[in-house]
Amino acid sequence: MLGAGSLKSLAAQEQHEQIVLAQQKRYTANDTTRIAAIGMGIMGYNDVDTALKVPGVQLVACCDLYDGRLAHAKELYGNNIFTSRHYEDILNRKDIDAVIIATSDNWHSRICIDAMKAGKAVYTEKPIVHQVKQGWDVIEAQQQTKKVLQVGSQRISSIVYAKAKEMYEAGDIGKINSVEAVFNRQSALGAWEYTIPLDASPQTVDWDRYQQFAEKKHAWDEKRFFWWRNYREYGTGVAGDLFVHLLTGLHYITSSKGPEKIYSIGDITYWKDGRNVPDVMTAVLQYPETP
């Protein structure tokens, strides 16, 4: 006799057991996967540390436009780590199987495409593109090369979302008429006012390379480099950095492909620090009615 749990719960449990068994695979010396990281800021280090917890993964190289991050990478992972300001140096190496891309948003699509064409598997931080129009080029490159391309949106990987999806599809939640989602980032760190290194300068940062493809070039500005999320030229602001977490969760739980209509407003109301993206945003999205 079955207990109170639904059949979907049993299926989810079985799937979990299969995942656990898969992780218990025994690795040999021939199973090493050699990776490199391009962009060694906050998420670059987080992604590398997570990747190195997987058996058989070895970090070979790191790339960043700030010399201090490359020096720190050697301190953490050993002096034998290859470092470079130029990601092409990473892609040209034949001993690298996969790359982690954790640069500012404006470089994601370009490096993704170049990496796949160079024969590398790719894990890139979200958003996969800086401008929507860049998406087709990334899709085409993946279809042509057939290389693995994974977009990192870690929040959606939480077991909480898997459970919510299970409950929704089983009918335990009932019919959803509306969803209210809120993200607050009111501290200085939450608002992307990160600590800027004391040695930040055009000598320690490859500023020309950083804004190589920008429509408008700017004189050296340490904020535009280390606080890039605050500028539309390099990042995607609240929408691309935070809204995406709320929307991917909603889409995953309901198996939605996206809204029919979007209405959004925003403004710079508090952080008068030179940013040109809103620090407060509100969006209303209308979705097709679900069965």
- In the predicted model, is pLDDT for residue 16 greater than 60? no
Query: C-alpha angle with apex 179: 175 to 182, nearest 5 degrees?
Result: 160
Residue 198: count other Cβ atoms within 10 Å of its Cβ: 7
pLDDT in tens, 210-265: 999 888 999 999 999 999 999 999 999 998 899 889 999 999 999 998 899 999 99
Residue 283 main-chain phi, psi, to 5 deg = -130, 140
Q: At what angle do helices 108-117 and 135-145 cross, to 10 degrees?
A: 10
Residue 232, CA distances (Å) to 63, 82, 196, 216, 275 in order: 23, 32, 19, 12, 9
pLDDT in tens, 133-174: 999 999 999 999 999 999 988 888 889 999 999 999 999 988
Kindly report the average pLDDT of the chain as a whole number.
Answer: 89
Whether the predicted model's global pTM rises above the 0.95 cut: no
Strands 149-152 and 98-101: unpaired
Domains, the chain, in order of start with CATH, read 32-152 (3.40.50.720), 176-286 (no CATH)
pLDDT of res. 18:
53
